A and B are shown apart, each in its own frame.
Chain A
Amino acid sequence: MNLDKPKTRIVEIEPVTRVEGHGKVTIHLDDDNNVAEARLHIVEFRGFERFIRGRLLWEAPVIVQRLCGICPVSHHIAAAKAMDVIVGADALPPTAEKMRRLMHYGQVMQSNVLHFFHLSSPDLLFGFDAPRGKRNIFNVIKEFPDLAKQGVLMRKYGQEVILHTAGKKIHGTGAIPGGINKNLSLQERDLLLQDIEQMKVWAKGAVDVAKRYTLEHLSQVEQFANFNSSHLSLVREDGALDLYHGGLRATDAAGNIIFDHVDYQDFNDYIMEEVRPWSYMKFPFIKSRGALDGWYRVGPLSRLNNVAFIDTPLANAEHKEFRALTHNKPNHMSLAYHWARMIEVLHCVEKIHELLLDPDLQGADLRVSGERREEGVGVIEAPRGSLFHHYKVDKNDQITYCNLIVSTTHNNNGMNRAVTDVAKKYLGGKKRITEGMLNHVEVAVRAYDPCLSCATHALGQMPLTVELFDADGALIHSNSQHMGQDIPPD
């Protein structure tokens, strides 16, 4: 089908809600109303990679986190890691690395919890077809007050960890090129230790909720945006899950290694980005496999597929169970992202506990430097997946080049497949498109926890629109969720 032909019908969802940022989907129908293809468009653009040029290297970790208010710590640390390379800090003092790790585990915990409880749980608790007015966190608070409160307080705990490591819950300033600007006082440590056991219990409970959902709805989960793909993530030298550091590993749909333990300073030899005219978000692919077949997914699902084990006991036991569902072959189900995400929350809580008991956090050796370089790459496993920051800096410390590949961009192809799959199954061939059917498309996008704020380093937000085209270009059904409507009087 030639998608350039202006012969299609359109239905729009705009903006997609309960995701971070906005996007737009167009769904192309043939004569029989069957879905030929669906596209997720990113409709805004920020130009960050250009206007960062000329700024001083130490500013980068502070400025770049303003790309995103949901996982600012990830950008903060990825930029700092790139600048570590440039200032020649090849090994950070233990206090610095552990403080950054603590900050990052707090970050992944709060972001994953936020996504599960505040954004996605309404779909899982009330059903994809539940009335629009019901599907939100406020209604979860009303109908499942205990569960909702746990979500609120777990996110709060993650934010408190960030507060005490970065000085501020959102857009703090902990990491600096070559180290960190503070250690953790004993008072701060004791404060955070107070609630850690409770967090562990709740995190385990959250894994159970996600696991139970997956297993009880397995026939749906197995049919809903379940498709083969490669998976990319960092892994530790011994193959363990490591959200802060490691080598790049890519596996194919069957779980075979494509490349392994790649030093991410060389990522350009392995990964390339494709530009398509209909989205500001680029399409990364594995070079050796080409633009067509080289696409892959990242994030909790990919990480749990890629790693051999988790180095904390509770999360490791859950990981084993997660892997057993697909007989240790890669799990490709988009909805299984939720389960994987909660296992990572449990891992983060265990890691935070481990770190809080480590006296290195009270150390005074906060920063190092060494042989100056002109180029550096920082990679971290952000809540949504691998996050790449690449900079070049001149002798005056001014940035001359910047390229960012954010987690959601890596998942661009995966999300496009997901909306196509779900549109085909739930909208294709239908004469009338209901709001509940459209929510299925949003549920598929949500599974990836996309951060569309990050995705294009956008100027703003990206409305998600679903457009349903037929071969004649007529509107199949004007159930647009953004089109003008009368506002009832008070």
Chain B
Amino acid sequence: MKRKKRIATVSLAGCFGCHMSLLDMDEHILELMELAEFDRSPLTDFKTFSRRCDIGVIEGGCCNEENVHTLQEFRKHCDVLVAVGQCAIMGGLPVMRNAIMHSKDPLRECLEEAYSSSAKVYNPSNQIPNDAALPLLLDKVYTCAEVVKIDYQIPGCPPSGEVLWATLAALIKGEPAPQEYHMIKYD
């Protein structure tokens, strides 16, 4: 019997909306289970790759060192990498941080806005969170293709469950991914 294809998924600097859209394939999830099994994914308890995977689905871009590391792990352990959604492909909402008008250090400004003492924030030591447990933030937000080679892109914020199902089903069966105009939306 042919083995089932293995899929791994991850959300980097995204909002989880693409994973929600994956679940929006609704009843097709039952069909997908016939064709494939999920390995490393926030939907399972596999926190690392237990086996080499056929398809890696990436949501979100890279905003900190951990995102970069995770993305490199996906490249290493997956045959095909699919960047899903605007954040993975173009950075999405998080890249608004990259260019704040008249600011030489947008990241610092964002941190000060959120944490510096004010009438509304109780921060007696006026410290911005800096614990060793917190990973290093990157100077700016990077798209996935800036970090590793990406094989397929599915645009949309997020792409619909229908498009995700059609694309995954095609990739699993070794067929070309759908390219119909109405399915590919940069919204």
* A132/B120 in contact, CB under 8 A: no
Residue of B nearest to A131 (CB): B45
9 closest A-B pairs by CB = A69-B17, A47-B110, A460-B13, A459-B63, A278-B131, A275-B123, A50-B113, A66-B93, A50-B110
Q: In chain B between 111 and 164, which residues have their CB closer than 8 angstroms to a CB of chain A?
A: 111, 113-115, 119-123, 125, 127-131, 133-135, 137, 141, 157-158, 160-161
Rounded to whole angstroms, the CA-CA distance of A19 and B41 in the bound complex is: 11
A147 is an interface residue with CB less than 8 A from chain B: no
Q: B47 touching A13 by the CB < 8 A rule?
A: yes
Indicate if the CB atoms of A45 and B18 lie closer than 8 Å: no
Which B-chain residue is minimally distant from A490 (CB atoms)? B52
A395 on the B face (CB < 8 A)? no
Quote the shortest CB–CB distance from B49 to chain A (angstroms): 5
B73: nearest chain-A partner, CB-CB: A484
Question: Are the CB atoms of B29 and A141 closer together than 8 Å?
Answer: yes
The answer to whether A272 touches B120, judged by C-beta atoms less than 8 angstroms apart, is yes
Interchain Cβ contacts under 8 Å between A and B, 26 examples: A17-B44, A18-B44, A20-B42, A22-B42, A41-B134, A43-B66, A44-B137, A50-B110, A66-B157, A118-B23, A135-B45, A136-B38, A149-B27, A156-B26, A273-B122, A275-B115, A282-B121, A439-B45, A459-B63, A459-B137, A460-B62, A461-B11, A461-B60, A465-B133, A482-B48, A488-B51
Please tell me if A487 contacts chain B, counting CB pairs below 8 Å.
yes
A8 to chain B, nearest CB (A): 12
Give A273-297 interface residues, CB cut-off 8 Å to B.
273-280, 282, 285, 291
B3 to chain A, nearest CB (A): 8
| Chain B interface residues (CB < 8 Å from chain A) | 11-21, 23-24, 26-27, 29-30, 33, 37-38, 41-52, 60-64, 66-67, 77, 92-94, 96-97, 100-101, 106-107, 109-111, 113-115, 119-123, 125, 127-131, 133-135, 137, 141, 157-158, 160-161, 187
Q: How far is the CA of A279 from the CA of B62 in the complex (A)?
A: 19
Chain A residues within CB distance 8 Å of chain B: 13-15, 17-22, 24, 26, 41, 43-47, 49-52, 54, 63, 66-70, 72, 114, 118-119, 132-133, 135-138, 141-142, 149, 152-153, 155-156, 159, 168-171, 268, 272-280, 282, 285, 291, 403, 439, 451, 453, 457-461, 463, 465, 467, 481-483, 485, 487-490
| Cα of A168 to Cα of B106 in the assembled complex, Å | 32
Chain A residues within an 8 Å CB radius of B19: 69
Please report the C-alpha to C-alpha distance between residue A461 and residue B100 in the assembled complex, in whole angstroms: 22
Partner of B158, one of A170, A453, A460, A461: A170
A15–B43 CB distance below 8 A: no
* List of B residues within 8 angstroms of A461 by Cβ: 11-14, 16, 60, 67
- Among A13, A67, A460, max chain B CB count under 10 A is at A460
Interface pair A47/B111, CB less than 8 Å apart: yes
